[in-house]
């Protein structure tokens, strides 16, 4: 039996037909070097305008990852000019985002920008994040707005920082820019285990030596709906308990990683 050689990443073998398919898709779809990833769940009211604003602010390619919405989010996003990936099951905000990051890696984008579909993030600020990416590889930039949110949210942030040992200001912001190395890390199967994009993902970046920096941005009120994570008090409690536990469990790994880097 003849086996094809493993690919450069050490992953499973890819046959020539698969390679040709990816090349064709790259040629057809990748028009620019920056891919904007928008995870969306039932965002029919806002998705069209957000995609149009991003395209106008470009040059960016846009992919909307529809987290199995029950409304017309996917159709509207496509109509507005985005490419759409429809998840066959609801996977949650981080895993929808990660699907878009995997897509960015697959098509060889230099930069991926993640942005919420609820209109909180201003497309005009994308350039602030991408221009803050350093020329050194291994960089993630967070669009931070620590002024937003209630006193309770700030207390929660403080608790999460204290338990996990991470020192970033806005750890829950979904507005981020990733370079190739960060794309490669966060599209790996190891990042699938996290439910949220904050503490676990940032600790993973720290451990892998990815530099995380913050750029202040303005954030707007949501155009529609509630937060996908903080939609009810039980959800907030679950989020806090699981994230605090994750921070405590992973904290030492980060220290070791930092010590190794010294």
Judged by CB under 8 A, the residue of 36, 51, 54, 102 near other proteins is 102
Residue 108, classified by CB atoms within 10 Å of its CB into exposed (0-12), middle (13-18) or buried (19+), is middle
Which listed range, 90-98, 118-126, 135-143, 223-231, lies at the site for other proteins (CB under 8 A)?
A: 90-98
Which listed range, 93-101, 114-122, 170-178, 237-245, lies at the site for other proteins (CB under 8 A)?
A: 93-101
Residue 191: CB minimum distance to other proteins, A: 10
Name which of 34 and 63 has its Cβ closer to other proteins.
Answer: 63
Decide if residue 250 touches other proteins (CB under 8 A).
no
In the chain, beta strands by DSSP E: 34-40, 61-66, 83-86, 111-114, 139-144, 176-178, 211-216
Judged by CB under 8 A, the residue of 85, 117, 203, 219 near other proteins is 85
**CA-based nearest residue to 94, from 166, 34, 174:** 174
Name which of 64 and 126 has its Cβ closer to other proteins.
Answer: 64
Count of positions on this chain that bind other proteins (CB under 8 A): 23
Judged by CB under 8 A, the residue of 57, 58, 71, 83 near other proteins is 83
Decide if residue 256 touches other proteins (CB under 8 A).
no
Structure tokens at 49: 């305008």
Query: How remote is the C-alpha of 199 from its chain's centroid?
Result: 13
CA distance 192 to 204: 11
Which listed range, 36-44, 79-87, 143-151, 203-211, lies at the site for other proteins (CB under 8 A)?
A: 79-87
> Collapsing DSSP states into helix, strand and coil, what is residue 22?
helix
Decide if residue 106 touches other proteins (CB under 8 A).
yes
Name which of 30 and 161 has its Cβ closer to other proteins.
Answer: 30
Judged by CB under 8 A, the residue of 7, 23, 24, 131 near other proteins is 24
Query: How remote is the C-alpha of 74 from its chain's centroid?
Result: 19
**Residue list 180-239, contact with other proteins (CB under 8 A):** 189, 192-193
**Residue list 109-148, contact with other proteins (CB under 8 A):** none
Give, in degrees to the nearest 5, the angle at Cα 59 between 58 and 64: 70
Residue 169: CB minimum distance to other proteins, A: 30
DSSP H helices, 188-229, are 199-208
- Which residue matches tokens 């912001």? 173
CA separation, residue 91 to residues 69, 86, 132 (Å): 11, 11, 30
In the complex, which residues of this chain contact other proteins (CB under 8 A)?
A: 21, 24-25, 28-29, 65, 83-89, 91, 95, 98-99, 102-103, 106, 189, 192-193
């Amino acid at each position: 039996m003849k086996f094809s050689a493993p690919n450069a990443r050490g992953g499973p073998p890819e046959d020539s037909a698969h390679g040709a398919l990816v090349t064709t898709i790259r040629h057809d779809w990748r028009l620019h070097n920056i891919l904007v990833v928008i995870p969306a769940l039932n965002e029919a009211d806002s998705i069209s305008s957000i995609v149009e604003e991003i395209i106008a602010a470009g040059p960016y390619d846009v992919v909307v990852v529809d987290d199995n919405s029950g409304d017309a989010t996917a159709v509207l996003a496509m109509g507005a000019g985005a490419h759409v990936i429809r998840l066959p099951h609801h996977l949650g905000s981080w895993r929808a985002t990660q699907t878009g990051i995997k897509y960015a890696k697959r098509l060889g984008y230099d930069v991926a920008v993640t942005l919420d579909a609820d209109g909180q993030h201003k497309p005009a600020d994308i350039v602030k994040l991408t221009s803050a990416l350093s020329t050194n590889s291994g960089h993630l930039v967070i669009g931070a707005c620590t002024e937003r949110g209630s006193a309770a949210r700030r207390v929660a942030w403080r608790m999460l920082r204290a338990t996990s040992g991470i020192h970033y200001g806005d750890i829950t912001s979904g507005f981020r820019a990733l370079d190739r190395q960060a794309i490669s890390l966060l599209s790996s199967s190891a990042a699938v285990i996290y439910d949220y994009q904050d503490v676990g993902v940032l600790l993973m970046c720290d451990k892998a030596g990815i530099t995380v920096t913050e750029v202040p941005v303005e954030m707007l009120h949501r155009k529609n709906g509630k937060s996908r994570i903080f939609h009810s008090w039980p959800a907030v409690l679950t989020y806090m308990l699981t994230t605090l536990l994750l921070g405590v469990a992973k904290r030492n790994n980060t220290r070791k990683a930092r010590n190794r880097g010294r």
